[in-house]
Amino acid sequence: MQQHTYAIMDGVEDTHWWFVGRRAILESFLRPLCDKLRSGDKKLRILDVGCGTGANIKMLSQFGEAEGVDVSDDALEFCRKKGLKVEKGTAEQLPYTDESFDLTTALDVIEHLDDDIAGLKEMFRVTRKGGRSLIFVPAFMWLWGVQDDISHHRIRYTKRQIVDRLKAAGYEIERATYANFTFFTPILGGRLLMRLTGIKPESENNINVSALNGIFGKLFSAERLWLKNLNFPFGVSIVVVAKRI
């Protein structure tokens, strides 16, 4: 990611509707998943790969002992100021021993990697047998936008593409679904408009309607209720639960 985007992310990820909604959806996946993984009173050990400025580590901490790893010194400094446990390292060479974690997450991270399968194999390596990985990635190359450019994304996936890569890394897929169905059309329209007009904001995270931010967050968060019982046929993102066998 471009250096300036970390400060922008740190300033908005607690309140911006996109981050609020994404965390609500992720929590709805994590709660039953962690109940399944938990054994007695022992706390789960959780790793967030590509932890950024740390909001997801804080969210994951309600489910166990969560820590993060990131390649960016700027991102790690934001995390340390919040008192979070983090290490420096790349997704392709994680600084942890085999089977160290009950749960690993990569939340809008895998799309940054030059070799995404190598990164997924490393997640597989540090996840214990019977453990799980939760993956969240952007969907569809034709939804490519300014945020993909400034974040240095390599790809936006189809569900089949990310599932095939996880299987190649050794995982068994428990669930895969598109997400952010609610704002699919507005986001598509906004990105088409930016392409036609040549508008390039410093970050799409800066694009927001303050008066509607809370409503947008609630609408996006409400997808967690639908996702309890069904998979979406398309969306702006993809969520996958994968098991290390």
Q: What is the pLDDT of residues 41-71, one digit of tens each?
A: 889 999 999 999 999 999 999 999 999 999 9
- Enter the pTM of the model: 0.89
CB within 8 Å of 155: residues ≥ 6 apart: 111, 116, 141, 161
Q: Write the pLDDT tens digit of every residue in 121-149.
A: 999 999 999 999 999 999 999 999 888 88
In this structure, are residues 139 and 158 in contact, taking their beta carbons and an 8 Å threshold? yes
Structure token pair of residue 117: 């399968």
Domain span including residue 136: 4-244
> What phi and psi values does residue 222 have, to the nearest 5 degrees?
-65, -15
Half-sphere exposure of 7 (CA within 13 A, CB side): 3
Domain holding 55: CATH number? 3.40.50.150
Quick one: pLDDT at residue 121? Answer: 98
Better-predicted residue by pLDDT, 205 or 195: 195
Number of domains in the chain: 1
| Helix (H/G/I), strand (E/B), else coil: 8 | helix
Helix (H) or strand (E) holding 29: helix 17-37
